């Protein structure tokens, strides 16, 4: 019986509270379309941008989205996807644009050549560089470490529980193809490739290595926001020459510099939408991208705030994209 | 038959232990001599013909998905149906819909409805927990994300029940169906999600439909299992009584079987919800909205605080839903409830309706806008804490990692990986026979053949070494903590909620601190697996020991046994069925974490799966690696099960 009374009291209490709150009133919800973009829209319509899981890509998307919405009045949807799945989106019509592609010959063959649903739009202006890196403190202490010829001399420094008595070369991001197994073999290096398995693992490893002055040799790439936090130093492998990486088994040279590419859905590019024009013209430098990436990752700004800041600082670049 | 096995057991028992030692001894000697030959190694970026064939299938699907009737009339129909169901739930509670800037029901309405459900199906305490839990999530600043996750969970659970309960009833009634379904359910639960993410997006595209379907795959098995189990454990006598009263099949089902198994079915609902919630994070990889996305985004910038805050919201939601469904399964039947409940519930119902109305009318009741900084505080505090832990303890943890790896993992892995494959295969078969029985040996033979054909033998052995070590550690921990909890109610009271939280906290959240403490290594992967598997194992052990008859324990104490002797000689042996179950579940959960292990440096099968998801060229290899994980699971399960049966018979 006691519980009975108690329970009833709670209910009446809740009802009274509710009445009281409603008495207070408050701002009501005006139904009607407030929807998304406020821009008048010069028949721009909707654009679906893929967002691949790294911050540099997010920087591209943030700026293009901001410009498309604010300047062109488009409605922009962003979709967080991995590379493979983004390409599938060209075929299904769910993705219009991939703003940064690091080279997927097989997917390009399939969707651009065979199915003809996607087109190569051109370069994004960013240049991708894959390579072997060491934390900056090592370069200071061992100045000659940036020459691959000296790597065997230092192999002992890089031993870990995972490398079976050899030096450890930490590979990592499963999204990227690597030649490292072949490189180690063909350059006769006393190293073992250890797969960390994620970008998070690689960055954590480099961050710790610099903080605690521990040796680390690892696979990394630029542009990448983390380079703004810890400027890793690249180890020079035998210079890249056209075709030296043709046979994956026999590679013995550095990775090529890769101009990063924009791809888009064919129908979208043919639609004559002003957004298609923007995507066509969009181009910026690694420094630009790293800066916006830093706004997003370190300063924790949201897409729009980060983009707005950069756009306001670089009006002429933006002007060139939308003319 | 019984006589035969019994006599054989009696005949082999004295020598069996020695025989096993002898077999292992011979293996070690041969392994040392033949080291490095016939190891079937394959470089991570290489593929075999089988892998490339899977790539071709993948490509075919992608080029034909708009023409093939299989798609037009089957997959696309499923997608449309599931998609609209999910969108309905999203519109209802999570996203602006029907031309309004807010969902159909705002936060106040959602809280009111859930509270009402708690009052109707559980009790007042749970109702208060609902209010507190969901208000907390709102204050964290994660209301919308949480509702997206909840919407996804609800639609997956709805479908899981829609499919799972009828299937479960069928499996409960028919032994044959049960025998066919069991391995399929095992398969669904062990197959790593990463493996079918990419194929699912090919079949069902991205978006809410495939997110729900991916979640469904993982959430379905408990719904089927618990229903079947409930039906099967209805006492014979009740069924026979209804038969003698002339009830036909349908009447028996509706009148006796279903009501009597209701409690178990609701427990199944509980497990289904938990499974769906834990999968909703991974679904973020194919653009499923919600908390998972917040966590994965934070991971990209190694933002431990933000991901912990979101992980906490999942934990809170899971605990609230868990208590709600658990209380519902324990509640007394309607007839025994006091008379005053009805007016009370009507009143509560009206109040809830009123709240829903408010949440549709006023902004304050629709959108959870907080001036609160709780979320930021949690994020900042947890970041600081994680930084402190990693900088303070990383020397100690580094030493722990190096020692364990050198003393335990490396020797074990060398034996399995560097030996000729046929030698390892022979060892596995011999152990399956000696520990288990002929049937287990046959299954093991098929599994070994599968692993060899997969082209991933060496990776499988690396993974097997880590799995064995992780399972052993999990069991040790499980028994130690489980016994402690069983003997001390106070310990139980404190530890259990921690275990609950560990079970639902998405592993991505503790990835970064772990990496900072233990670096990218196999040890980190093993630790993550132990952390994930231990809660289940501990709970099973604790419950098993609590269930040991108190008279046996009292008798032992009365006859002068010390605490240690009581545990070792009475409680543990009598809880053997629970220990076997714990070992079995331990293996399943450890295997479920192998892919996450691939993300933190374990390499091998886990890495193959992750890489297969990210790189088109490695798709087939990833798929094969996923299958290899399932095969490993089947093999280990069969051997442990057979070993347990043998002991019971002996």
Q: Which residue of A has its CA nearest to B367?
A: A29
Q: Is the pLDDT of residue A110 over 60?
A: yes
For the ranges B444-453, B549-558, B619-628, the one whose mean pLDDT is highest: B444-453
pLDDT tens column, B184-235: 888 887 777 777 887 788 788 877 888 999 999 888 998 998 898 888 888 8
Mean pLDDT across the stretch B332-348? Answer: 73
Q: In angstroms, rounded to a whole number, what is the distance separating the alpha carbons of residues A271 and A74? A: 14
Specify if B170 maps to a domain.
no
Sequence-ordered strand ranges (E) for chain A: 46-51, 75-80, 97-101, 118-134, 167-171, 191-195, 217-222, 233-235, 257-265
Q: Is the pLDDT of residue A268 over 60?
A: yes
Chain B hits for A199, Cβ within 8 Å: 300
pLDDT tens column, B298-331: 888 888 888 999 999 999 999 999 888 888 877 6
| DSSP bridge partners of A194 | A170
Residues contacting B65, CB < 8 A, separation 6+:
A91, A92, B71, B75, B202, B203
How many CA atoms, within 13 angstroms, populate the side-chain half-sphere of residue A58?
A: 25
Residue from the list A7, A28, A92 with its beta carbon closest to the beta carbon of B361: A28
Residue A263 DSSP code: E
**CATH architecture, domain A46-127+259-322:** 3-Layer(aba) Sandwich (3.40)
Specify if B603 maps to a domain.
yes
Q: In angstroms, rounded to a whole number, what is the distance separating the alpha carbons of residues B436 and B641? A: 8
Specify if B69 maps to a domain.
no
Q: Which two tokens stand for residue B16?
A: 């069996």
pLDDT band at residue A123, thresholds of 50, 70 and 90?
A: very high
Distances (CA, A) of B405 to A319, B400, B591: 58, 8, 19
Q: Is the pLDDT of residue A186 over 80?
A: yes
Burial-class residue A144 by CB neighbours within 10 Å (0-12, 13-18, 19+). exposed
Give which of B212, B241, B304 is closest to B505, Cα–Cα: B304
Residue from the list A58, A164, A170 with its beta carbon closest to the beta carbon of B520: A170
Percent of chain A with pLDDT over 70: 87
Query: How many Å lie between the alpha carbon of B159 and the closest alpha carbon of chain A?
Result: 25
Residues contacting B171, CB < 8 A, separation 6+:
B177, B178, B181, B224, B227, B228
Q: Select from A176, A183, A198, A217 the residue whose CB has the most chain B CBs within 10 Å, as the one to mutate to test that interface.
A: A198
* Domain coverage including residue B498: 393-410+458-650
Contact B303 A82 (CB under 8 A): no
Query: Quick check: B318 contacting A, CB < 8 Å?
Result: no
| Better pLDDT: B73 or B149 | B149
Contact B202 A88 (CB under 8 A): yes
pLDDT of residue A25: 53
Contact B45 A197 (CB under 8 A): no
Specify if B608 maps to a domain.
yes
Residues contacting B349, CB < 8 A, separation 6+:
B116
Q: Select from B104, B301, B609 the residue whose CB has the most chain A CBs within 10 Å, as the one to mutate to test that interface.
A: B301
Torsion of CA B348, B350, B353, B357, to 10 degrees: -120
Q: In angstroms, rounded to a whole number, what is the distance separating the alpha carbons of residues B192 and B195? A: 6
Residue A256 DSSP code: P
Chain A hits for B519, Cβ within 8 Å: 160, 205, 208
Mean pLDDT across the stretch B417-441? Answer: 91
Query: How many Å lie between the alpha carbon of B626 and the closest alpha carbon of chain A?
Result: 16
Contact A195 B45 (CB under 8 A): no
How many CA atoms, within 13 angstroms, populate the side-chain half-sphere of residue B172?
A: 26
Chain A hits for B603, Cβ within 8 Å: 194-195, 197
Contact B358 A172 (CB under 8 A): no
Q: Select from B51, B206, B283, B364 the residue whose CB has the most chain A CBs within 10 Å, as the one to mutate to test that interface.
A: B206
pLDDT band at residue B9, thresholds of 50, 70 and 90?
A: very low
Query: Quick check: A22 contacting B, CB < 8 Å?
Result: yes
Q: Which residue of B has its CA nearest to A208?
A: B516
Q: Out of A308-317, B225-234, B250-259, B598-607, which region has the weakest mean confidence (pLDDT)?
A: B250-259
Asked if A7 contacts A35 with a C-beta cutoff of 8 angstroms, the reply is no
| DSSP bridge partners of B545 | none
Distances (CA, A) of B357 to A237, B112, B351: 68, 11, 10
Specify if B480 maps to a domain.
yes
| Better pLDDT: B441 or B264 | B441
pLDDT tens column, B111-134: 999 999 998 888 888 999 999 999
Contact B516 A208 (CB under 8 A): yes
Mean pLDDT across the stretch A149-163? Answer: 90
Give which of B222, B203, B223 is closest to B213, Cα–Cα: B203
Residues contacting A82, CB < 8 A, separation 6+:
A52, A53, A175, B285, B613, B614
Contact A205 B350 (CB under 8 A): no
Residue from the list B65, B344, B614 with its beta carbon closest to the beta carbon of A174: B614
pLDDT of residue A16: 46
Nearest-5° Cα angle at B153, B150 to B156: 150
Specify if B32 maps to a domain.
no
pLDDT tens column, A66-76: 999 998 889 99
Residue from the list A29, A89, A94 with its beta carbon closest to the beta carbon of B361: A29
Q: Which two tokens stand for residue B143?
A: 């209301």
Q: In angstroms, rounded to a whole number, what is the distance separating the alpha carbons of residues B467 and B597? A: 10
Q: In angstroms, rounded to a whole number, what is the distance separating the alpha carbons of residues B304 and A24? A: 40
Q: Is the pLDDT of residue B11 over 60?
A: no
* Number of separate domains in chain B: 1
Specify the 3-state DSSP secondary structure of B163: helix
CATH 1.10.10.60 for the A128-257 domain, yes or no: no
Q: In angstroms, rounded to a whole number, what is the distance separating the alpha carbons of residues B27 and B588? A: 27
Specify if B609 maps to a domain.
yes
- Cβ–Cβ contacts within 10 Å for residue A22, how many? 16
pLDDT of residue B457: 92
pLDDT of residue B334: 58
pLDDT of residue B199: 78
Burial-class residue B402 by CB neighbours within 10 Å (0-12, 13-18, 19+). middle
Contact A162 B297 (CB under 8 A): no
Query: Quick check: A165 contacting B, CB < 8 Å?
Result: no
pLDDT tens column, B129-162: 999 999 999 988 898 899 999 999 999 999 999 9
Residues contacting B486, CB < 8 A, separation 6+:
B492, B541, B542, B543, B545, B546, B571
Query: Quick check: A267 contacting B, CB < 8 Å?
Result: no
Q: In angstroms, rounded to a whole number, what is the distance separating the alpha carbons of residues A241 and A238? A: 9
pLDDT of residue B170: 92
Q: Select from A204, A227, A297 the residue whose CB has the most chain B CBs within 10 Å, as the one to mutate to test that interface.
A: A204
pLDDT band at residue B618, thresholds of 50, 70 and 90?
A: confident
Query: Quick check: A290 contacting B, CB < 8 Å?
Result: no
pLDDT tens column, A62-108: 999 999 999 888 999 998 888 888 888 898 888 999 999 988 888 88
pLDDT tens column, A227-257: 888 889 999 999 998 888 888 788 889 988 8
Query: Quick check: A194 contacting B, CB < 8 Å?
Result: yes
Query: How many Å lie between the alpha carbon of A57 and the closest alpha carbon of chain B?
Result: 11
Q: In angstroms, rounded to a whole number, what is the distance separating the alpha carbons of residues B250 and B253? A: 5
| DSSP bridge partners of A132 | A219, A235
Q: Which residue of B has its CA nearest to A112?
A: B63
pLDDT of residue A212: 87
CB within 8 Å of chain A, chain B residues 406-425:
406, 410
Asked if A253 contacts A245 with a C-beta cutoff of 8 angstroms, the reply is yes
Residue from the list A11, A172, A204 with its beta carbon closest to the beta carbon of B347: A11
Q: Is the pLDDT of residue B19 over 60?
A: yes
Which CATH number fits the domain that encloses residue B598? 1.10.3720.10
pLDDT of residue B34: 84
**Domain ranges, ordered by start, for chain A:** 46-127+259-322, 128-257
Q: In angstroms, rounded to a whole number, what is the distance separating the alpha carbons of residues A6 and B338? A: 14
Q: In angstroms, rounded to a whole number, what is the distance separating the alpha carbons of residues B291 and B473? A: 31
pLDDT band at residue A17, thresholds of 50, 70 and 90?
A: very low
Q: Which two tokens stand for residue B645?
A: 């049966």
Chain B hits for A300, Cβ within 8 Å: 303
Nearest-5° Cα angle at A179, B460 to B60: 65
Q: In angstroms, rounded to a whole number, what is the distance separating the alpha carbons of residues B502 and B314? A: 11
Give which of B484, B395, B449, B491 is closest to B635, Cα–Cα: B449
Query: Quick check: A54 contacting B, CB < 8 Å?
Result: yes
| Better pLDDT: A218 or B253 | A218
- Cβ–Cβ contacts within 10 Å for residue B203, how many? 19
pLDDT of residue B47: 82
pLDDT band at residue A137, thresholds of 50, 70 and 90?
A: very high
Chain B hits for A202, Cβ within 8 Å: 520
Contact A53 B296 (CB under 8 A): yes
pLDDT of residue B154: 93
Q: Out of A203-207, A282-286, A307-311, B500-504, which region has the weakest mean confidence (pLDDT)?
A: B500-504
Contact B599 A200 (CB under 8 A): yes
Whether the predicted interface score ipTM is above 0.90: no
Asked if B28 contacts B411 with a C-beta cutoff of 8 angstroms, the reply is no
Evaluate the omega torsion of the peptide bond into residue A223 and state whether it is cis, within 30 degrees of 0: yes
Contact A181 B45 (CB under 8 A): yes
Chain B hits for A10, Cβ within 8 Å: 124
Q: Which residue of B has its CA nearest to A204?
A: B516
Name the H helices within B191-303.
Answer: 193-204, 208-232, 236-244, 249-252, 258-280, 291-300
Q: In angstroms, rounded to a whole number, what is the distance separating the alpha carbons of residues B375 and B298? A: 14
Query: Quick check: A225 contacting B, CB < 8 Å?
Result: yes
Write down the mean pLDDT value for chain A.
84
Q: In angstroms, rounded to a whole number, what is the distance separating the alpha carbons of residues B401 and B528? A: 13
Asked if B284 contacts B292 with a C-beta cutoff of 8 angstroms, the reply is yes
Contact B614 A12 (CB under 8 A): no
pLDDT of residue B472: 93
Q: Which two tokens stand for residue B199?
A: 């194929």
Q: Is the pLDDT of residue B5 over 60?
A: no
Residues contacting A107, CB < 8 A, separation 6+:
A83, A84, A87, B616
């Amino acid at each position: 019986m006691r519980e009975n009374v108690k329970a009833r009291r709670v209910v009446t209490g809740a009802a009274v509270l509710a009445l009281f709150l409603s008495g207070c009133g408050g701002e009501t919800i005006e139904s009607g379309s407030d929807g998304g973009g406020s821009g008048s829209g010069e028949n721009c319509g909707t654009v679906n941008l893929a967002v691949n899981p790294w911050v540099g890509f997010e920087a591209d998307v943030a700026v293009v989205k901001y410009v498309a919405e604010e300047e062109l009045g488009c409605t922009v949807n962003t979709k967080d996807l991995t590379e493979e799945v983004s390409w599938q989106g060209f075929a299904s019509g769910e993705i219009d644009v991939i703003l940064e592609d690091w080279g997927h010959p097989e997917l390009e063959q399939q969707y651009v050549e065979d199915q003809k649903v996607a087109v190569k739009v051109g370069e994004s202006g960013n240049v991708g560089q894959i390579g072997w890196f060491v934390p900056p403190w090592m370069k200071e202490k061992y100045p000659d470490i940036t020459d691959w010829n000296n790597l065997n001399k230092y192999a002992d420094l890089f031993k870990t529980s995972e490398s079976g008595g050899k030096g450890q070369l930490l590979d990592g991001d499963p999204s990227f193809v690597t030649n490292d197994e072949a490189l180690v073999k063909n350059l006769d290096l006393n190293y073992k490739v250890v797969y960390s398995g994620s970008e998070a693992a690689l960055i954590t490893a480099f961050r710790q290595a610099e903080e605690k002055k521990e040796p680390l040799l690892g696979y990394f790439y630029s542009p990448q926001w983390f380079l703004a936090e810890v400027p890793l130093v690249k180890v020079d492998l035998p210079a890249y020459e056209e075709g030296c990486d043709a046979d994956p088994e026999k590679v013995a040279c550095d990775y090529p510099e890769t101009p990063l590419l924009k791809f888009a859905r064919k129908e979208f590019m043919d639609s004559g939408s002003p957004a298609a024009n923007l995507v066509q013209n969009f181009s910026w430098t690694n420094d630009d991208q790293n800066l916006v990436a830093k706004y997003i990752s370190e300063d924790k700004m949201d897409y729009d705030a980060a983009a707005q800041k950069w756009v306001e600082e670089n009006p002429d670049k933006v002007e060139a994209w939308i003319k | 038959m019984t006589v035969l096995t019994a006599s054989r057991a009696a005949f082999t028992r004295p020598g069996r232990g020695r025989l096993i030692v002898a077999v292992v001894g011979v293996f070690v000697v041969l392994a040392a001599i033949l080291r490095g030959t016939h190891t079937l190694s394959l470089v991570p970026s290489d593929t075999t013909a089988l892998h490339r064939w899977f790539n071709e299938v993948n490509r075919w699907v992608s080029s034909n998905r708009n023409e093939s009737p299989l798609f037009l009339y089957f997959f696309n129909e499923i997608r449309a149906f599931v998609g609209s169901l999910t969108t309905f739930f999203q519109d209802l509670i999570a996203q602006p819909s029907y031309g309004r800037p807010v969902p159909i029901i705002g936060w106040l309405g959602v809280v009111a409805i859930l509270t009402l459900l708690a009052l109707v199906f559980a009790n007042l305490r749970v109702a208060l927990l609902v209010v507190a839990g969901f208000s907390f999530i709102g204050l964290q600043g994660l209301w919308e994300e949480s509702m997206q996750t909840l919407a996804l969970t609800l639609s997956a659970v709805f479908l899981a029940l829609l499919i799972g309960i009828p299937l479960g009833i069928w499996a409960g009634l028919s032994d044959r169906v049960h025998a066919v379904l069991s391995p399929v359910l095992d398969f669904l639960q062990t197959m790593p999600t990463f493996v079918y993410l990419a194929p699912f997006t090919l079949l069902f595209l991205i978006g809410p439909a495939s997110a729900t379907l991916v979640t469904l795959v993982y959430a379905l098995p408990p719904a089927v299992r618990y229903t079947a189990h409930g039906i099967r454990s209805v006492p014979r006598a009740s069924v026979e009584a209804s038969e003698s009263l002339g009830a036909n099949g349908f009447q028996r089902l509706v009148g006796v079987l279903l009501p009597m198994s209701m409690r178990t079915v609701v427990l199944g609902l509980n497990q289904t919800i938990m499974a769906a919630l834990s999968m909703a994070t991974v679904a973020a990889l194919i653009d499923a909205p919600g908390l998972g996305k917040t966590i994965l985004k934070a991971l990209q910038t190694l933002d431990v605080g933000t991901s912990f805050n979101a992980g906490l919201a999942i934990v809170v939601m899971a605990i609230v839903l868990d208590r709600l469904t658990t209380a519902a399964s324990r509640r007394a039947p309607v007839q025994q409830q006091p008379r005053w409940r009805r007016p009370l519930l009507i009143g509560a119902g009206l109040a809830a309706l009123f709240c829903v109305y408010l949440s549709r009318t006023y902004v304050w009741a629709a959108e959870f806008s907080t001036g609160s900084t709780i979320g930021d505080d949690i994020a900042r505090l947890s970041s600081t804490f994680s930084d402190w832990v990693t900088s303070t303890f990383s020397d100690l943890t580094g030493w722990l990692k190096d020692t364990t790896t050198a003393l335990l993992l490396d020797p074990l892995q060398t034996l399995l990986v560097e030996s000729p494959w046929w030698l390892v295969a022979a060892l596995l078969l011999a152990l399956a026979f000696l520990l288990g029985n002929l049937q287990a040996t046959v299954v093991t033979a098929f599994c070994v053949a599968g692993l060899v054909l997969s082209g991933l033998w060496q990776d499988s052995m690396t993974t097997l070494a880590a799995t064995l070590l992780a399972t052993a550690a999990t069991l040790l921990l499980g028994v130690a903590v489980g016994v402690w909890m069983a003997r001390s109610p106070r310990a139980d009271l404190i530890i259990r909620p921690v275990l609950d939280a560990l079970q639902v906290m998405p592993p991505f959240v503790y990835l970064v601190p772990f990496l900072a403490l233990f670096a990218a290594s196999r040890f980190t992967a093993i630790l993550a697996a132990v952390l994930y598997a231990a809660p289940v194992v501990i709970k099973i052990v604790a419950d098993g020991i609590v269930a040991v008859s108190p008279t046996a324990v009292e008798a032992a104490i009365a006859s002068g046994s010390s605490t240690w002797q009581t545990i070792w000689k009475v409680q543990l042996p009598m809880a053997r069925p629970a220990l076997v179950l714990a070992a079995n579940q331990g293996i399943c959960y450890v295997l479920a974490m192998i892919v996450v292990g691939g993300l933190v440096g374990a390499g091998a099968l886990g890495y193959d799966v992750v890489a297969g998801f990210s790189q088109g060229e490695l798709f087939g290899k990833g798929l094969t690696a996923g299958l290899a994980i399932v095969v490993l699971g089947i093999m280990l399960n069969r051997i442990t099960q057979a070993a347990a049966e043998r002991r019971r018979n002996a």
